[in-house]
Chain A
Amino acid sequence: MVSTNLNCKEIFREAYNNRYTWPSTFNGYSGKCIFIDNEKSVEGDFILDSNFKPKIIGISDDNISKKISSQLFEVAIHRVKRDFTEVHKNNNFKFLGESDKGMKLEVLGKNEGDKYIVKDKKINMVFRKIHGVIIEIFVQEFIDTGDGFLSKKYSSQQLDIETLTPNQKYWNMRIIL
């Protein structure tokens, strides 16, 4: 039986710290990048420096270049180690319930109303208000790096803040846990 006296902040902290992040000594990386959609395939090179600002080289289509850059930046920004105590110092976590999906927690405090589901010491659902909309992410599969977990398969949708109905038309608005 689940006790409502669980230390929800500790449970969330453990899952938060289980995310894979890069060591602070990592100076970035480079390689080739390929963009493929229904109409075209475009190849170029990229450099992601120690400031995690991607530079795309050899792609003349600015729109495609920006899309590639956005993906690299979004992944990189999630790899930056941000201390839990600093990020969530003004938040507390309330137990909302438990199911086969995991333990549902609601944030109280600075990020009031945000919700998470934690299962097997991993965060597999995020419900966050950001820039006036709700972003909801469900993770279906993780990769275990040995130093933390990466999301492999997941869905992401934007919800109207009033009606909580999905809005499919959004791009590149991703969040940092």
Chain B
Amino acid sequence: MEYEDNFVDLGINNIWVLESRIIKFLDDNNKVNEIKYIFKELSSI
């Protein structure tokens, strides 16, 4: 499985959080599949 993560600074106290993650993997037929997770409008609580 191949991962590519991107992180973003929330803008306070140098807090970095996940902004996106792409996961590539082979399925049962050896075909490359991709799943993306995107996180936006992020703010600390």
Contact = CB atoms under 8 A, between A and B. Distances in A.
Contacts of B5: 75, 150-153
Contacts of A29: 10, 15, 17, 42-45
The prevalent SS among residues of B at the interface is strand
A67 B10 CA distance: 23
Contacts of B2: 153-155
Interface in A1-43: 20, 22-23, 25-38
Contacts of B33: 37-38
A159 interface: no
Interface stretch (A88-96, A100-108, A119-127, A139-147): A139-147
A152 B18 contact: no
Interface string B1-34: 1111111011001111110010001100000011
Interface of A: 20, 22-23, 25-38, 46-47, 49, 67-68, 71-72, 75, 143, 145-147, 150-157, 168
